[in-house]
Chain A
Amino acid sequence: MAIDQPFAINIEHMGFRYPDNADVSFTDLNLKVEKGTRFGLFGPNGAGKTTLMNLMTGVLAVNEGSIKLLGKETGKQNKEVNKLFGFVPQDFSFYQELSPAENLEFFGAWAGLNKTEIINRTNELLHILGLEDVSNKPVGKFSGGMKRRVNLAIGVIHNPQVLFLDEPTVGVDVQTRYAIVSYLLKLNESGTTLIYTSHQLNEAEDICEQIAMIDQGKIITQGHIDDVLKAHNHESLEELFINLTGKAYRN
């Protein structure tokens, strides 16, 4: 069974370039993310984090090599692959006119859940993420933190085995950040692999076990967070980040 593969993500000799943007491209990229781990992907602006995440989720198709998610190749087995993971994009990618419950009903159905499963998961998630009181109000009127929680709830409604998170806590208050991080750790305890990217490096230290830093389409370091910090003789991810990617502005 492909699900029994040891790697949640296995990227081999992957090459990719945008037809109209030569600034971001990958050549012969290799990366393995073990199942059940909490993996962080970091890099400065324009390093290719979002592009790599889009490649791993099959939104973009690779030009060379392959990306396998739990043993299934993205791009070729998309329908099967898409059942295995959840995606929490940085943007509020849902319908602002609808309530959290209505959004969850729609995305739950598209994720392949039946009516009963949708009702049960909706009630569970609204409770966990503190959205019960506003479950029938249009999301458009919510605060940024509440919208982040709705965004996360949609990404996990179908209990994915791998969860991709693109800046899941950007622009939220301390309470919401704490609630989201706690929930993510709980998800991981139950076996969900987290693939996380953010510029909040302090938060990343709380969440991630394994990390990779990329810059200009290349992996510049990767491994267990403690091992990486030790190898580069740094105390924090922020120090390591500045040391490896420099202090110059990135656009």
Chain B
Amino acid sequence: MFKLWISIKKDVRILLRDKVGISLMFVMPIILVVVVTSIQNSTFQLVNKNKLPIIICNTDTGKASAQFIESVNKIGMFNVSQVPKERAKAITDDMHSKDALLGIVIPSNFSSEVNNKAKSASDKAMAAFSGQADSIKTTIKPTSASGIDPLTLYYNPVLQESLRFSIQGAIRSALQLVQTRETLRTLYYASNEKELPKSLENEMLNSNTTINMLPVSKDGTRTTPNASQHNVPAWTIFAMFFVIMSLGGSVVREKVSGSFIRLKTLPTNYLVGLLSKQLTYLAVTLLQAAVIFSMGMFLFPYLGLPALNLPSDLFALFLVTLICGWCAVSYSICVGVFSETQEQSNGFGAVSIVILACVGGLMVPSFAMQGIAKTMANFSPMHWCLQAYYTLFLEGGKLKDVLNNIGSLFLITIVIQFVTYLGLKRKNLI
């Protein structure tokens, strides 16, 4: 125990004097967590509160286009501004000058085509009602396959695909509303020879069933996860693997300086040295997690970010963090053992943890992965840790819900430790 204690003292001293290593292990991940959470939170705010800026150029003079613009406004997702119809060809320039992410040009025949399509639908309906569906011929021919010239929707490429699909869906629903309203009015007039009463129109159009979205958690709570709940655990895992920048380099320095060989000539098993490094850096990873979680809980609200709520099962959280930290430390030592120089260790270490993070679902959710990418995720320790954290932080899970993840993480760690042992043997270091 005395040898282990002295070895831990040595490792802590070296760590505390490695200012660059400390800043990489603590300062950089903290900045990363704050920046990523802020960006994700801004995206959330942009869609839900700030609204997406959109420019509409209406080259049509009819009522339908005006109703369409009103419908787009009522969606609540867009901040609509209009430009004169002469700007139709220069709408992309206007998007740049007005910082608009979206632009729509309504074609000049929009209203007339909406009316024609409504008339056509109405005539068919009337014929169907009177049993003459086969004999009646509509006198109005639509000008395009769908009956209306397509709207042109311009978008800024910064908009992600998923958001673009949401926007397209919203615009389509506004378009559908205009078309449906006109068809109803025409049909009503054809059968009653008078205007559709406003109250009836509203009742018919606004009776859509509302969608009530509720998160499903394991503990039965209905708290909607915020950007902090999503990002803080994910980037904490990334931070823990950042110990490679200090620990990997430390192992390489020991090898290059000849300290390993000297230690081999002393009557102490090198496993004491490995244990010392693992305990020291495991404490570092736990400290990292504690600092980042505390920041999420107490500092984020002061930065205008949503506060992080810890899971109810704190023991499970500790256990997942502990095993994830152990895995990060084991991986760092393994990279250090196989690297010939500190540059190799730092370069390979940094790139490999980014790859592990990508594969593990930190950047793209693993549920969105397909085929080989989904299979590969199982080999990334970050994947199992992230799943465990999400179960605890987002789904209100307990220890029993993350045992599978902990088991997989433990297995990967044991494999890494074994590979490290083989590396030490092969290089004649133990």
Contacts and interface: CB of A to CB of B under 8 A. Distances in A.
Contacts, number: 80
Interface residues of B, number: 24
A152 to B, nearest CB: 12
Interface in B1-15: 2-3, 6-7, 9-10, 13-14
Contacts of B265: 57-59, 82, 85, 87
Contacts of A106: 6-7, 9-10
A110 B259 contact: no
Interface string A29-60: 00000000000000000000000001001111
B17 A112 contact: no
B18 A93 contact: no
B6 A109 contact: yes
A111 B3 CA distance: 9
A93 B267 contact: no
B6 A89 contact: no
A97 B428 CA distance: 25
B2 A60 contact: no
B268 interface: yes
B213 interface: no
B267 A94 contact: no
A95 B250 CA distance: 10
A95 B10 contact: yes
A124 B6 CA distance: 20
B266 interface: yes
B267 A98 contact: no
Interface string A53-97: 010011110000000000000000001101101010101111111
18 contacts: A58-B264, A59-B264, A79-B267, A80-B267, A82-B266, A83-B267, A85-B265, A93-B262, A95-B259, A97-B13, A98-B13, A105-B6, A105-B9, A106-B7, A111-B266, A111-B267, A112-B266, A115-B2
A154 interface: yes
Interface of A: 54, 57-60, 79-80, 82-83, 85, 87, 89, 91-98, 102, 105-107, 109-112, 114-115, 138, 154
Interface in B388-428: 428
Interface in B103-119: none
Contacts of B268: 109-112
B2 to A, nearest CB: 6
Contact of A138 (B2, B9, B17): B17
Given A87-B265, A93-B257, A59 B10 contact: no
B261 A110 contact: no
Contacts of A57: 265
Contacts of A79: 267
A57 B259 CA distance: 15
Contact of A97 (B6, B7, B14, B262): B14
Which A-B residue pairs are the 6 nearest by beta carbons?
A93-B258, A91-B258, A109-B6, A82-B267, A93-B262, A110-B268
B263 interface: yes
A138 B263 CA distance: 20
Contacts of B262: 87, 89, 93-94, 107, 154
A109 B2 CA distance: 7
Nearest to A61: B428
A201 B3 CA distance: 39
Nearest to B269: A79
Nearest to A60: B428
Contacts of A107: 262, 266
Nearest to B14: A97
Interface in B245-271: 253, 257-259, 261-268
A82 B267 CA distance: 5
Nearest to B15: A97
Given A91-B257, A94-B259, A109 B3 contact: yes
B13, B259, B263: most-surrounded residue (chain A CB, <10 A): B259
